[in-house]
């Protein structure tokens, strides 16, 4: 049975400060929850309207559909809601290409980028400290299980970049075309900026190479592409060269 | 001054049935509103906290910031809210590549796809009748002005495709790789399916060529890419060949 304490805890995990204090986050739906199990994330509690499905008696609570509606962050809840523990920081694997995000703001964008990185076998994303939290329920939802396979690290991105001598490439509106530039991408970092303002001026000097996706029309519009679309287009282009 | 009638009208335009009855839709923010003016959309009414900006006395109403908060669909309203008339149906320009969407559901995805089409000079999108409405406020917002330059037509997509003899290509999880296939794309239609279910089985037979974006990892995950990311990746790849 669902307790008042459970309800209070789950609702509190909508906010970053409570996720950090409790070191817990919410995953919904059987597909995503299964993927977190497969990636050895540690389950804290599971709430299911079909308790047979995961067959985890000790940590699982049978709930009703109306209970689920009460606790779910979704408009259309999907049978199960799990609380997992936020894992300890992992070491960044610098032997492979990294993705850097400077001040990403939109949770849907971050989730989609995590999913796209998973598709293109990018296993580490490095976010500046002012970026949206990857355990935000909207990020978890739009990443669709890929958050269980992609390691996200938050740090001082400027400091990190200036301490590294590997290939550092930034995406700008006025860089060299991705179709005409030679990009060496066995390892290094590819950095994207904030949705509205791009890469911050403080970071620009750290990025040796500037690249762009050419606009294929004769107008000055639109000003830019959606951020997650830009990541997809560039990773797709690089994937041919991997 | 903002009247009760104005408030009622604006709030009603959140719903498709009221947009269709009134033949009106809402655009917010000076950048997007400017782009609709440039594309000769017909203004019905404008509500501004800075009436000097557009300098349109007869159709403009000076409002306060708290008025704007009351009528805006955004969490952070942006100075101006305009009501434009939904234009009459335009003829589809079949001399160029068309984008087809079969049952697209998510307004953010449709908005992003409209913006990406604008970038790649696709001027006509054809949606099946069960697709999300392009004048939905969330679509207008994420399209960021590009809806003023891309013509969206809703029709019976199966009937339309079967009546046409041009190049008809569908995107599937098991098609030929976009990097290894010869795609003839001066004209014709490129069709994408619904976020969860892909292209409907009724439509599949109409699509002569099936293409896919290869997954660049050795796992079976993620199952798919985000829909708008897929559109961006394929249009970007085609843009090299245009």
**Which is more confidently placed, B216 or B65?**
B65
Distance (Å, whole) CA B132 – CA B98:
18
pLDDT > 90? residue A182 = no
Beta bridge partner(s), residue A80: A48
Tokens at A13, concatenated: 């995990």
Cα–Cα separations (whole angstroms), residue A219 to A62, A136, A229, B97, B149: 57, 37, 20, 18, 11
- Distance from the A5 Cα atom to the nearest Cα atom in chain B, whole angstroms: 30
H/E stretch holding B118: helix B107-119
B interface with A, Cβ–Cβ below 8 Å: 35, 108, 112, 115-116, 118-121, 142, 144-146, 149, 179, 213-219, 221-223, 225-226, 228-233, 236-237, 239-240, 242
Q: Is the backbone of residue B51 left (phi > 0), alpha (psi -120 to 50) or beta?
A: alpha
Phi, psi of A118, deg, nearest 5: -60, -45
- Distance from the B101 Cα atom to the nearest Cα atom in chain A, whole angstroms: 17
Q: Reduced to 3 states, what is the DSSP secondary structure of residue B233?
A: helix
What chain A residue is nearest to B116 in terms of C-alpha separation?
Answer: A225
Q: Is the backbone of residue A141 left (phi > 0), alpha (psi -120 to 50) or beta?
A: alpha
pLDDT > 80? residue A186 = no
Distance (Å, whole) CA A183 – CA A167:
9
Strands A43-48 and B151-155: unpaired
CB contact (8 A) between residue B225 and residue A142:
no
Q: Which residue has the tokens 């906010």?
A: A15
pLDDT > 70? residue A241 = no
Residues of chain A found within 8 Å of residue B242, distances taken between Cβ atoms: 216
pLDDT classification of B187: cutoffs 50, 70, 90? confident
Share of chain A above pLDDT 70, in %: 98
pLDDT classification of B81: cutoffs 50, 70, 90? very high
User: Half-sphere exposure (CA, 13 Å, Cβ side) for B233?
Assistant: 29
DSSP state of B24: E
Nearest to A95 by CA among A123, A59, A67: A123
**Which is more confidently placed, B114 or B238?**
B114
pLDDT in tens, A73-96: 999 999 999 999 999 999 999 999
**Mean pLDDT score, B77-103:** 96
Distance (Å, whole) CA B170 – CA B193:
8
pLDDT at res. A183 = 76
Distance (Å, whole) CA A21 – CA A14:
12
pLDDT at res. B225 = 96
pTM: 0.95
For B177, residues 6+ apart whose C-beta sits below 8 A from its C-beta are B211, B212, B213, B214
pLDDT in tens, A39-76: 989 999 999 999 889 888 788 999 999 999 999 999 99
pLDDT > 60? residue B242 = no
CB contact (8 A) between residue A145 and residue B222:
yes
Distance (Å, whole) CA B122 – CA B98:
7
What is the distance, to the nearest Å, from the Cα of residue A196 to the centroid of all Cα atoms in its chain?
18
Residues of chain B found within 8 Å of residue A217, distances taken between Cβ atoms: 118-121
> Count H helices, E strands: chain A?
9, 10
pLDDT > 90? residue A198 = yes
**Mean pLDDT score, A158-184:** 91
Distance (Å, whole) CA B102 – CA B200:
7
Over its C-alpha atoms, chain B yields an Rg (Å, rounded) of 20
In CATH terms, the superfamily for domain B4-85 is Ribosomal protein L30/S12 (3.30.1330.30)
Distance (Å, whole) CA B71 – CA B130:
28
pLDDT in tens, B131-176: 999 999 999 999 999 999 999 999 999 999 999 999 999 999 999 9
Q: Where are the domains of chain B?
A: 4-85, 97-239
Cβ B84 vs Cβ B41: under 8 Å: yes
A39-66 burial, b at 16+ Cβ within 10 Å, e below that, comes to bebebbbbbbbebeebeeeeebeebeee
Q: What is the CATH number of domain A97-239?
A: 3.40.1280.10
Strand ranges of the sheet holding B97-101, from the earlier edge strand across to the other edge: B151-155, B124-128, B97-101, B188-192, B168-177, B209-212
CB contact (8 A) between residue B217 and residue A179:
no
Cα–Cα separations (whole angstroms), residue A55 to A2, A45, A209: 18, 13, 52
ipTM entry:
0.93
pLDDT in tens, B38-69: 998 999 999 999 988 988 878 899 999 999 99
Distance (Å, whole) CA B78 – CA A95:
44
Task: Quickly count: other Cβ atoms within 10 Å of residue A171's Cβ.
Answer: 24
CB contact (8 A) between residue B228 and residue A233:
no
pLDDT at res. A213 = 95
Cβ B36 vs Cβ B26: under 8 Å: no
Share of chain A above pLDDT 90, in %: 87
Cα–Cα separations (whole angstroms), residue A142 to A8, B123, B137: 24, 28, 20
Q: What mean pLDDT value characterizes chain B?
A: 94
Q: Which residue has the tokens 């000079």?
A: B121
C-alpha dihedral sign at A131, A135, A139, A145? positive
């Amino acid at each position: 049975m669902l307790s008042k304490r459970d309800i209070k805890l789950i609702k509190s995990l909508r906010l970053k400060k409570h996720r950090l204090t409790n070191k817990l986050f919410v995953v919904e739906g059987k597909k995503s929850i299964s993927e977190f199990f497969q990636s050895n994330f540690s389950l804290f509690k599971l709430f299911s309207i079909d308790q047979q499905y995961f067959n985890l008696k000790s940590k699982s609570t049978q709930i009703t559909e109306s209970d689920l509606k009460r606790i779910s962050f979704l408009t259309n809840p999907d049978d199960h809601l799990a609380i997992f523990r936020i894992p300890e920081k992992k070491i960044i694997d610098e032997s492979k290409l990294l993705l850097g995000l400077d001040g990403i703001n939109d949770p849907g964008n971050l989730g989609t980028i995590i999913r796209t990185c998973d598709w293109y076998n990018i296993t580490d994303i490095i976010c500046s400290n002012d970026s949206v939290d990857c355990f935000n329920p909207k990020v978890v939802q739009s990443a669709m299980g890929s958050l269980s396979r992609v390691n996200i690290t938050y740090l001082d991105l400027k400091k990190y970049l200036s301490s590294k001598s590997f290939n550092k490439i930034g995406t700008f509106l006025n860089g060299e075309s991705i179709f005409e530039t030679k990009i060496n991408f066995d390892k290094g970092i590819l950095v994207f900026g904030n949705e509205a303002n791009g890469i911050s001026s403080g970071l620009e000097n750290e990025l040796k190479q500037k690249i762009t996706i050419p606009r294929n029309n004769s107008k000055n519009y639109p000003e830019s592409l959606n951020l997650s679309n830009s990541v997809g287009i560039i990773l797709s282009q690089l994937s041919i060269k991997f």
